[in-house]
């Protein structure tokens, strides 16, 4: 579950498109695992994938939901941040 949290946090940071390679690098997982996670999140409509399935972007509803959770939960939710 930690990788899913990291991918969502990364995509929510700037709400921009990120390549699978970028996601893999920034979350420190393999490209295959990053692709699997983004495919899974897209199947739940948490993220959008481009036509070639090489880029992912957080869905606006998911972003609003995560923002609400952060404001409700406070500091403990920040433990999910992407490793630097």
- Report the distance separating Cα 21 and Cα 2, nearest Å: 18
The whole-number pLDDT of residue 1 equals: 66
pTM over 0.85: no
Residue ranges per domain, the chain? 2-80
Give the relative orientation of helices 31-43 and 2-14 as an angle to the nearest 10 degrees: 80
pLDDT digits (tens, 9 = 90+) for 61-73: 999 998 888 888 7
Q: Please check whether residue 30 is in contact with residue 68, taking contact to mean a CB–CB distance below 8 angstroms.
A: no
pLDDT in tens, 22-58: 999 999 999 999 999 999 999 999 999 997 878 999 9
What pLDDT was estimated at residue 31? 94
- Angle (CA) 41 21 39, round 5°: 20
| Top-level class of domain 2-80 | mainly alpha
């Amino acid at each position: 579950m930690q990788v899913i949290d990291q991918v969502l946090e990364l995509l929510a940071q700037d709400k921009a498109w990120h390549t699978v390679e970028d996601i893999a690098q920034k979350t420190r997982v393999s490209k295959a695992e990053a692709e699997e996670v983004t495919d899974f999140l897209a199947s739940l409509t948490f993220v959008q994938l481009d036509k070639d399935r090489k880029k992912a972007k957080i869905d606006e509803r998911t972003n609003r939901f995560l923002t609400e959770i952060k404001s409700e939960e406070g500091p403990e939710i920040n433990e999910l941040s992407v490793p630097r």
